[in-house]
Amino acid sequence: MKKALVAAVAVLATVGFTGMAAAQTAATFADGDGSVAGGNASSTNLSADRATTDWAGFYGSLDQTVSLSDGSTFYQWTAEDVSGSAVLAAQGGFSGDSADLTAVSDPSTVNGVPTSGAESASNTYTGSSALSVLGAGATNSTVLDYGSATDFNNYLFSDADGDAVYAAEAQNSGTAFDGSTADYQLMVGTTDAGDASETFSFYAQIE
C-alpha cells in the first residue's frame, strides 16, 4: 500500500536570483581569432554562454522517520536508506496528495513553467520515464541529460489546478551535480521577473 505524502522537515524554501536572463555576454572564440587584414575574410566560430534565471535547484539530504503517534510519539523508527522515496516541490495550491498528480505529456501546457527560450520546459523535459513510487500515471516527463549528476532524474507533474509539481526520486548517498553526496537533487522552474525570490513548498513520499 502506498504511503501518503508527508511534509518534509524543511516545508518552505526560497530561492533568489540576480541579473536578467537576457543579459549580454562576451563571446569567446571557439576557432580562429579576432584578427583580420583589410580586404580579407576570417572564418571565426564563436561560443557564448549566459546564466539562466528561469530555473533553480535544490539538493541535500532526506532524513526519514516513521512514527507511531496520536499527537505524542509512542515509538519512532529512523530509516537508513532513502532509495525509493520521492521529494516534491510546488507553488500554488498543491494539496500534498499524490492522487492529485497528473502525468504530463506536453510540458508547455503546465502552469508556472518557463515557456520561452532555449531553457523552456519543452526543451528541458525531453524524455519519458515512470516514477512508480508516486503511483501517478504510467509515464511522466523527465530530464534525461543531467550532466555529471547521473544519479538523479527529475519529473514534471501537474496538480488538480494544472500547476507544476516538480519531483525527484531520492537516492541513498547519490552524487550531486558538484560531486558532493546528496539524497536528492531537484530542479524547479522560476517564472518571476528579475531578481525576485520565489517560495516552494516541499513534500516527501517516504517508504
Q: Where are the domains of the chain?
A: 6-17+52-205
φ, ψ of residue 6 to 5 degrees: the values are -125, 150
- Residue 89 sits at φ, ψ, to 5 deg, of -135, 140
Would you state the pLDDT for residue 45? Answer: 82
Q: Strand 64-69 vs strand 55-60: parallel, antiparallel, or unpaired?
A: unpaired
pTM of the model: 0.79
Over the stretch 69-85, which tens digit does the pLDDT of each residue have?
A: 998 999 999 887 888 78
Which amino acid does the sequence have at 79? A
Residue 7 pLDDT exceeds 50: no
User: What pLDDT, on a 0 to 100 scale, did the predictor assign at position 3?
Assistant: 45
pLDDT band at 102 (very low <50, low <70, confident <90, very high): confident
Query: Rounded distance, CA 78 to CA 14, Å?
Result: 27
